[in-house]
Chains A and B, each alone.
Chain A
Amino acid sequence: MANESISSQSLSLSSGATQDRTVRRHRPWLRRIVGHLVLIVLATVFTIPFFWLLSTSLKPPEQLFRLPPEWIPSPVMWSNYAKATTFIPFFRYFGNTLYITIFNVFAILVSCSLVAYGFARIQWPGRDSLFMVLISTLMIPGAVTLIPTFIIFRNLGWVGTPNPLTWPAFTGNAFYIFLLRQFFLTIPNELSAAAKIDGASEFQIYWRIILPLARAALAAVALFTFMANWNDFLGPLIYLSDKNQFTLAIGLYGFLSRVRTEWGPLMAASTIMISPVLVLFFFTQRTFIQGITMTGIK
């Protein structure tokens, strides 16, 4: 890129305005090609691990250790997938993970939207100071609250159950509250004012006006919550002890620690764990990326 601009500069110096114009016309075209080349190489590098995952998950054991590595599995070992789902109680873990994830999505949507409404759409003394408190809680490392929280749940008799991973979601999540509040602020105040004149209560305004208008932001929060809980490792690691209640993340970890060398089934299990997230992402890409974008601004 640097070379390019230097050469064009020297060209325009040497041969005047006409030359300069032609160079200007050509440069974006060249730049585009270079841009595409760099991006294609990078994108390939970043995509290869996915192909390698898929390819390994279908390889017979003897093909794994062949050098140089081979890309196409032969014969295709679908049995790796069968093995992955029987070696650990896969469907039970799948179900457990789904339960925790769905519970959280629901609870987070309810709690965060209510709280965000309180911070964005009602004027009350002390609101902005409390909101500053909310923002500052984002900066607290999880380690500081981890141990006392564990002890609270232990005293409640909840350690060894999924409850510590589900019920707290009803108290909201600072990050999602922040995101929804920013979105709620963009909804014109006249809408609420008009509804108030018609005698609507705050809850009715929240339910009938704000929520329907905030579908995109709510969808983004739902997606983030889904991903975060589906992928969560530390929470289940600390709170779950009964094998029957394990989530996929913990199950997969157990798989690795027992059968380090059975890469085929291991990659098959990883593929199955990744697939729901990938599928979900492909169908909701726009919402997802808009959501991330919302967190980044202002």
Chain B
Amino acid sequence: MTVWQELAANRPQRRSWQLTRAVRRDLRNGLLFVSPWLVGLCVFTLYPILASFYYSFTVYDIISPPQFAGLANYQDLLTTDPLFWKAVRNTLYYVAVAVPLYLCIALAVALLLNMKLRGMALYRTLFFLPSIVPDVASAMLWAWILNPQFGLLNALLRGLGIPTVGWLSDPNWSKPALILIGLWAFGSSMVIFLAALQDVPEALYEAAELDGAGLLRKTWNVTLPMITPTIFFNLVLGMIGAFQYFTTAFVLSQGTGGPASSTLFYSLLLYNNAFSYFKMGYSSAMAWLLFAFVFLLTWLVFKSANRWVYYEGENA
């Protein structure tokens, strides 16, 4: 910073775009205050993004320096690596099923809680609790609940006369099992929804009631449009998070993504390539493909927002 100040002080003054003293002082102070983040931006974001882009065109095992390999990593990933496409399918399945499901449940429960029932705070706490449980601990707990022979869930199904399944040990049921585990922790999106619901002006409901709207109509034509910004927020964050789904699948499959690669999610494969096989170039290529795809999808969601997200105070 001092070097920069000296430079600024010694620079010949140019009248045309010379900053006033007050503006210069504010600029200096502003930069000074945000400097911790600027350092982090350069060291932990910008440099790594560029470096991983470069690594993605190399063969790099950490011990010897990266060797340029052109598009070989991308070519291997897209054409020859069967695990890559398996991981892509698993991840897309998870994103496509889990994200809408969590959003709907979180919203539905938030709508219920917004009925101004007595004990709302207690319910809210109960629904929120699971989402603060550490992923590792929740994985342990659910491994036991979903145990095929002695687990609570299968005992319940047996009691109801419903055929039981192997859950985490059955490749057909392992992903639904993981989605179920994730569902337990829908609380934080619910809290966000609830706050948005409480912000919907009462006058709008009163007006709708005068027009003879019932509960369903009020929900569909007043509540939902008013909270579309929050749905949008939860959708974007939920999507970005789901593409990076890792811990629970890793813990429950001991890092293998089993059974039969059915829980081999994108981040898990990336982790294994990077930190079990030390294929840093290859994993960087994986990271960049993910980045490009998530970026594209987020951009599409943002573009679609004009059609369905309503911002109050924005005159159409």
B-contacting residues of A (Cβ < 8 Å)?
1-2, 5, 9, 31-32, 35-36, 38-39, 42-43, 46-50, 52-53, 56, 64-65, 67-69, 111, 114-115, 117-119, 122-127, 130, 133-134, 137, 139-152, 154, 168, 170-172, 174, 177, 202, 206, 227, 230-231, 233-234, 237-238, 248-249, 252-253, 256-257, 263, 266-267, 269-270, 273-274, 277-278, 281, 285, 289, 292-293, 295-298
Alpha-carbon gap, A227 to B185, bound state (A): 14
B161 CB within 8 Å of chain A: no
B316 CB within 8 Å of chain A: no
Alpha-carbon gap, A149 to B288, bound state (A): 15
The answer to whether B215 touches A140, judged by C-beta atoms less than 8 angstroms apart, is: no
The answer to whether A233 touches B135, judged by C-beta atoms less than 8 angstroms apart, is: yes
Contact with A along B73-87 (1 / 0, CB 8 A): 000000000000000
Alpha-carbon gap, A202 to B155, bound state (A): 64
Alpha-carbon gap, A234 to B247, bound state (A): 7
The answer to whether B51 touches A297, judged by C-beta atoms less than 8 angstroms apart, is: no
Size of B's binding interface in residues, CB under 8 A: 98
- Closest A-chain residue to B149, C-beta based? A65
The answer to whether B140 touches A270, judged by C-beta atoms less than 8 angstroms apart, is: yes
Q: How far is the CB of B105 from chain A (nearest CB, A)?
A: 9
The segment from B4-12, B92-100, B125-133, B200-208 that touches chain A is B125-133
The answer to whether B117 touches A35, judged by C-beta atoms less than 8 angstroms apart, is: yes
The answer to whether B143 touches A256, judged by C-beta atoms less than 8 angstroms apart, is: yes
Q: How far is the CB of B246 from chain A (nearest CB, A)?
A: 6
The answer to whether A52 touches B145, judged by C-beta atoms less than 8 angstroms apart, is: yes
- Closest B-chain residue to A263, C-beta based? B144
Report if A257-B155 is in contact (Cβ < 8 Å); known contacts: A238-B275, A273-B137, A296-B230: no
Contact with A along B227-267 (1 / 0, CB 8 A): 00110011010001001101100110010000000000001
The answer to whether A270 touches B137, judged by C-beta atoms less than 8 angstroms apart, is: yes
Within 8 A of A (CB), among B102-137: 109, 112-113, 115, 117, 119, 123-130, 132-137
The answer to whether B112 touches A202, judged by C-beta atoms less than 8 angstroms apart, is: no
- Closest A-chain residue to B215, C-beta based? A5
The answer to whether A292 touches B191, judged by C-beta atoms less than 8 angstroms apart, is: yes
Q: How far is the CB of B95 from chain A (nearest CB, A)?
A: 13
Alpha-carbon gap, A245 to B163, bound state (A): 45
Q: How far is the CB of B133 from chain A (nearest CB, A)?
A: 6
Contact with A along B20-40 (1 / 0, CB 8 A): 000100110111111011011
Residues of B within 8 A of A122 (CB): 26, 29-30, 33
Residue of A65, A119, A127, A151 with most chain B CB atoms under a 10 A cut-off: A151
The answer to whether A171 touches B43, judged by C-beta atoms less than 8 angstroms apart, is: yes
Q: How far is the CB of B125 from chain A (nearest CB, A)?
A: 6
Residues of B within 8 A of A118 (CB): 29-34
The answer to whether A273 touches B36, judged by C-beta atoms less than 8 angstroms apart, is: no
Residues of A within 8 A of B140 (CB): 252, 256, 266-267, 269-270
Task: Give 9 pairs: A residue, B residue, CB < 8 Å, sorted on A.
Answer: A46-B130, A52-B141, A52-B152, A65-B150, A115-B36, A143-B270, A143-B287, A149-B44, A171-B39
Residues of B within 8 A of A140 (CB): 45, 49, 291
Q: How far is the CB of A295 from chain B (nearest CB, A)?
A: 7
Please give 4 more A-B residue pairs, beta carbons under 8 A apart, in addition to A147-B48, A277-B132.
A67-B155, A148-B49, A234-B246, A297-B195
Alpha-carbon gap, A156 to B291, bound state (A): 27
